[in-house]
Amino acid sequence: MVFPAYNEAASLERAVGIATETLLQISPDYEVIIAEDGSTDGTGAIAKSLAGNSPQVKHLHSAERLGRGRALSRAFAESRGMILVYMDVDLSTDASYLHPLVQSIRDGWDISTGSRLLPDSVVSRSRTRGLSSRTYNGLIRMLFHTGVHDHQCGFKAFNRESLFRILPEVRDTHWFWDTEVLAIASRRGLRIKEIPVRWIEDRGTTVNLAMDSAKMGMKAFSIWWRLRS
């Protein structure tokens, strides 16, 4: 399991502790990789300490800012598991949903992803962000026919072989990585499973709603044209 971590000193230790307890209930054979991405707030020192105290925890350090997508791709390449998982350090998605997420891959799905937009999902977020999310995801479904309701939830699992079959085609290095992976996966015929989750918005998020939505919308059209060509 991978935690992409950029300036997460306040949340990292708690997140790793909760993830470790949850993963132990799923399988005795697991690893937690902290993909520490050019942090400047002491996250690196905390990650190093956590890795030193547990053989199941690995600290993958980058002195430069790689971007969330590139940090994830790098961490997955360094991992050893056949089921690859990542979740955001803020634990916006309740960790109890790790079991159904992983079980979907065990059941034969290529990708499983948490969804904040399914009828059974329980979500606490601002109305503005909720509307923006529905608009963005509607656009992605229209362009790529993924059948997925929520492309950007930071809670996903992959069959290793399936992910590495498409990862060379994924170019984004930051927030759009999730959408690009699912768009390419859908185009290549991979099976994607959505599961409803309980999700609480992180009020300290670094996502700029207007700017990032505009950038990801432009990237979506760029990927659509590339795949169409």
In sequence order, which ranges of 145-208 are alpha helices (DSSP H)? 160-166, 177-187
Residue 206: pLDDT band by 50, 70, 90 thresholds?
Answer: low
pLDDT at 217: 79
| Pairwise CA distance, residues 21 & 16, whole Å | 9
Residue 86 lies in a domain: no
Residue 184 lies in a domain: yes
Q: Average pLDDT for residues 54-79, to the nearest whole number? A: 96
* Co-location of 216 and 116 in the same domain: yes
Q: Average pLDDT for residues 202-208, to the nearest whole number? A: 60
Residue 172 annotated to the active site: no
Residue 72: pLDDT band by 50, 70, 90 thresholds?
Answer: very high
pLDDT at 94: 95
| Pairwise CA distance, residues 177 & 215, whole Å | 12
Last residue of a domain, one of 63, 81, 99: 81
How many percent of the chain have pLDDT more than 90?
82
Catalytic residue among 172, 178, 202, 212: 178
**Closest by CA position to 34, among listed 24, 21, 45:** 45
Last residue of a domain, one of 81, 104, 139: 81
Residue 204: pLDDT band by 50, 70, 90 thresholds?
Answer: low
Residue 208: pLDDT band by 50, 70, 90 thresholds?
Answer: low
Residue 65 lies in a domain: yes
* Co-location of 42 and 110 in the same domain: no
DSSP string, 27-94: -SS--EEEEEES-SSSHHHHHHHHHHH-TTEEEEEESS---HHHHHHHHHHH---SEEEEE-TT--B-
pLDDT at 197: 97
* Co-location of 216 and 168 in the same domain: yes
* Co-location of 57 and 114 in the same domain: no
pLDDT 10s digits, 125-171: 888 888 888 999 999 999 999 999 999 999 999 999 999 999 999 99
pLDDT at 219: 86
* Co-location of 3 and 111 in the same domain: no
pLDDT 10s digits, 55-65: 999 999 999 99
Residue 128 lies in a domain: yes
Q: How many domains does the chain have?
A: 2
Q: Is the pLDDT of residue 221 over 90?
A: no
Looking at per-residue confidence, does 22 or 207 come out higher? Answer: 22
* Co-location of 64 and 100 in the same domain: no
**Closest by CA position to 39, among listed 77, 20, 66:** 66
pLDDT 10s digits, 7-39: 999 999 999 999 999 999 999 999 999 999 999
* Co-location of 32 and 73 in the same domain: yes
| Pairwise CA distance, residues 9 & 47, whole Å | 9
Instruction: Give pTM, 2 decimals.
Output: 0.92
| Pairwise CA distance, residues 125 & 122, whole Å | 10
pLDDT at 1: 97
Domain range spanning residue 165?
91-229
